[in-house]
Amino acid sequence: MKRTLGLLLLVLLFGAMKMEEEPKEAFKNRMGSHGNGAKKVVIGYVGGFRGLVNTGLISPEKLTHINYAFVDVQGNRAFLTNEKTDTVNFRKLLLLKQKNPALKILISIGGWAWSKNFSDAVLSDASRAAFAASAVDIIRKYKLDGVDIDWEYPGRPGEVGNIYRPEDKQNFTLMFEALRKELDVLEQETDQKKLLTTAVGGFSDFLLHTEMDKAAKYLDYVNLMTYDYYSGKVAGHHTNLYASKLYTSANSADIAVKAYVAAGVPISKLVMGIAFYGRNSKVEPGTATGLGATYIKGEFGSGYTRIKDSLINKKGFVAYQDRDANASYLYNTNTQTLITYDDEWSVREKCKYVVAQQMGGVMFWEYASDPKEYLLNEVVRSFK
C-alpha cells in the first residue's frame, strides 16, 4: 500500500512538473528566443527573374519568409513576365513547406529594373484598385502567402527612364490601403493570414517622398535596404552598420533605422537588410586601404561565397575590418580595387543590433549570392 501511494505521489509530482514546464515553453515560443516580444524573421529574397530556381539549394528551416523576386508592373497591373518559369518556381517553393510548414512565400513586385510603371499604376482610385486586385489574384491563384512591394522609388529617380511624380507620396500610402483591402478579402476566403510588406530605401531621402507613418499601418514588415551605399566622389562601405570615421558619409543602417523610427514606423516592423554580395570600386592610387579614396567607378561584385573562398587575403586582396562602422572590406593595391561586403562578423553585429533595438528581424539580397550559406548560418546562430 505504501509503495502504491509512493508511486501515485511520484506520478502526481511528475504531472505537476510537466504542467509547469509546458507554460514556460509556450511562453518561450510566444516571446521568441530573445524574450522581447516575437521571434525574429529571416526573410530571403530569391531571384526568379533569372529563370528556374534550384530549390534544392534552399534551406527552408533557416528561413521564416521567402520573397520571390520579381513580378513586373505592366498595363497598370501586376504581371508575370516569365509566367512559364514563375509558375514552376511557385510550385517548387511551396514544396519547401514540407520541411518548414511555417514558411511564408510572398511575391515581390518591382525591384530596380521593374519599378518604371508603379507611378502610373497607382495614380487613381480605379488604377490602384485594379493593380491591387491583380497582385492578390496572383497569390490567390498560386496559393501564396502575401505581397511585397519594392518600388524604387516613389517621388524620386531610380533607374533611368522610371516614371515618378510628386503625387507618388500620397499614392504610395493609398496603394498599400488598396492592397490590404484585397488581402483582407482573400483572408476571409482562405481563413489564412496574408502578409503585406515592402522594401524601402535605406537612406533618409526616401522618407521625404513617402508617408511611412501612414503606410506602416497597413504593413506587416518594412524591409530596409541597408546596402548599396556609395558616393560618386568617395569610395566607402556599401552595407555598413554605423558611420565610418575614415571618411564622411550620410548613410548607415543605424542612421536609417533611427530615421524611420522618427518618421513614425514602429521599430518592431523594421527589418535590417544584409548584403549577400559585395560592391567593387575602382579608386585613385595613394591610399593604404582604399577606403575614403577618390572614387573612379564601381559595379556589383561577387557573392559572399566567392569572396570568402577565393578573394579574402588572396589574389592581391588584403582583408580589413572597420571597427567603427562594423563593416569589412578588401583592398588590392595593385589594381586599386576596393571591395566592401558583409561577412560573418558584420552579420553577427547586425543581428545583435536587431535584438538590442527590438527590430522585427533581418532580410537579405539574395539567396543565390551565398550558396554555401555562410551568412545565413551566422544569422541562424545569432538568433538562437
Residues in the chain: 384
303, 374 contact by CB (below 8 A): no
Quick check: 151 and 110 in contact, CB under 8 A? Answer: yes
Contact of 375 with 59, CB cutoff 8 Å: no
Task: Quote the CA–CA distance of 94 and 91 in Å, as a whole number.
Answer: 5
Are the CB atoms for 273 and 288 separated by under 8 Å?
no
The rounded distance, in Å, linking the Cα atoms of 357 and 355 is: 6
Nearby residues of 365 by Cβ (< 8 Å), 6 or more positions away = 45, 225, 227, 273, 274, 275, 276, 277
Grid cell 502575401 is found at 146
Closest CA to 214 of 256, 171, 181: 171
* Angle (nearest 5°) at CA 351 between 110 and 49: 25
**8-state DSSP, 116:** T
What sign has the CA pseudo-torsion 196, 201, 202, 206? negative
Report the alpha-carbon distance of residue 53 to residue 93 in Å, rounded: 9
152 is catalytic: yes
Cα distance between the two ends of the chain: 48
**Which one is catalytic: 61, 152, 187, 344?**
152
Query: Cα 317 vs. chain centroid, distance in angstroms?
Result: 29
The CA-atom distances, in angstroms, between 286 and each of 89, 272, 332, 335, 336 are: 48, 34, 12, 12, 9
Distance of CA 40 to the CA centre of its chain: 12
**Nearest in space to 48 (alpha carbons), one of 121, 118, 111:** 111
The catalytic residues are: 152
